[in-house]
Structure 1
Amino acid sequence: MSRCEHRSIIRLYYRSMGEALDGIEFARGDANSTWGSVRAAMGHPKPFDLKYVAVGNEDCWQKYTYYKGNYLVFYNAIKKAYPDIKIISNCDGSSQPLDHPADYYDFHVYKPAKELFSMSHKFDKTSRDGPKAFVSEYAVNITDANTGNLLAALGEAGFLLGLEKNSDVVGMVSYAPLFLNTNDRRWLPDAIVFNSSHLYGTPSYWVQQFFTESSGATLLSSTMEGNSSYVEASAISFQSNGSDYIQIKAVNFANVTVELKVKMTGLDSSNTKASAKKKKVLTSASVMDENSFSNPEMIKPQESIGVMSEGNFTFVLPPYSFSVTRRCRL
């Protein structure tokens, strides 16, 4: 997967193409330009690093019969004025190719935990040609998520592992929504909950942390023995502080312990020395457990250090858990 970076993205809701171009100039224009000068006068002379523009939001549905025609007007005008900006279409290209030009297509999904977990293979058969997916909204948000529990986080983790293994066709991913002010509840669940004086991360927040530690990694072709329909896993290699590492991420979505053996194509197991392993596990006594202001760290990754023998890639996955194991390689 590509190295993580902050990406500035805006969605266009303007009534006219002229307003849209003015809005982009406000964000990106030189401080001496018409709208860039307005931004500068507001105290931000430096242009924003705007790289992506999404045209609309969930508009490519049957009832929006004019979306594609209007989209092309915006696409052509923006590309003419700002050829480097990447345009994101609202139309889903995961099942069949788009019939219009785009740099990315938007994909939103909100499902119960078990159903989202089962969507880990959603992009396995997506065409490798054409624009990549921007999964800009995903979450477990039906009744089994409550206000943000372990069950929801595990369903999301399985889905994310599928996206990681299809990173050649999935370019960007973001959880939605990110923040919840308990004094103004509008959506449940969210990743980070706060009020006037306190905050905590939901289990979904901690799942995000598991995926940020290995940015710039290389996905390894792997097979899983002892796998089941309730286990999803991936293997990556990456460098940190001058050392090479292999990392296995695995979700056990069942209420039984699973022993998982990982085989990686093209990797000589004898080339992995006996070394310390760093393991983090996200789990709890009940899948319905949640963090709260009174117990903000009820569910958070538990870290342990051990020794893994040479060439050994066998892992024990606790019931209803998300585990990450990292070990050094020669």
Structure 2
Amino acid sequence: MKQIFTVRQGALDGVEAFLSVARHRSFRRAAAELGVTPSAISQAVRVLEERIGAALFMRTTRSVGLTEAGEQFLLRAKPAFEELVAASEVARGLGQRPTGLLRLSVPRAVVPILLEPLIASFCEAYPEVEVEIAASNELVDLATEGFDAGIRLGQFVDADMVAVPLTPPFRLIVVGSPAYFAGRGRPEHTDDLRQHACLRWRRSSGALALWSFNDDGNAIEVAVSGPFIAHDFPTMLGAAVEGIGLAQLPEPMVAEGLRTGKLVDVLQPFAPVIPGVFLYYPGRRQVMPKLRAFIDHVKSHPAGQSNA
């Protein structure tokens, strides 16, 4: 049967006073070191001895020495207390300046077009912060998985999260390669997609995403079909460039393909506008300096507004 161990309330009371007296072999010098009265030190040690159930010091009018119990207590308590103080200093440092490990959960698609320039400039500006990027399309629980923040399209950020925009809103557009359109007509209306091979995206939930459109101000969703299913936008983009079918993708992702002629956009009048990409994190309280520094960097760095 599993045992549950807890530290009793007040279990550490008097330990610092004991260690100071043991170090100086003097209640008076211990009191001066800790900035309290000798009587306060004496009372703290007395309460500690009562709680332990053994005398820790031998006191005379001229000297203070350790009992055998005191020697054994010192042997274990001194390194443990020093480790506790060191742990407090490390935690205090993390809470006072940007330092430590910053873990971000991000979709693969945003890494090359958005995150790389931000990370490069951030690492240069804050050399004491280590940045870890977990590139995945899974919608993870930040707290459970140990992430400081995540990056996602706005429509996938939960309402209880604090969200910071990384890009302005942008369109979802339908694209295909010139090779795909060779010998076949281009769709003029969303109904025409029934005659086209459409590349589909499977969400982390397992469901196939519908294609979203704006038809005269009305938001509509269309179930498409085709020969290829991907689990992320970069894979869909590559398939579209290769001529496998049409893909609906965020406009910043396909900007280079459109510029070079590798892709052609269609159904422009029906392209919906989505909120954009956001950095998000749970709650406004206790934001660590490393994350606060990254948030401020995102807001001020021009890469946060690029390609969008």
Q: TM-score, normalised by structure 1?
A: 0.21
Q: Larger Cα Rg: Structure 1 or Structure 2?
A: 2
Greater strand proportion: 1
Q: Larger relative CO (CA 8 A, sep 6+): 1 or 2?
A: 2
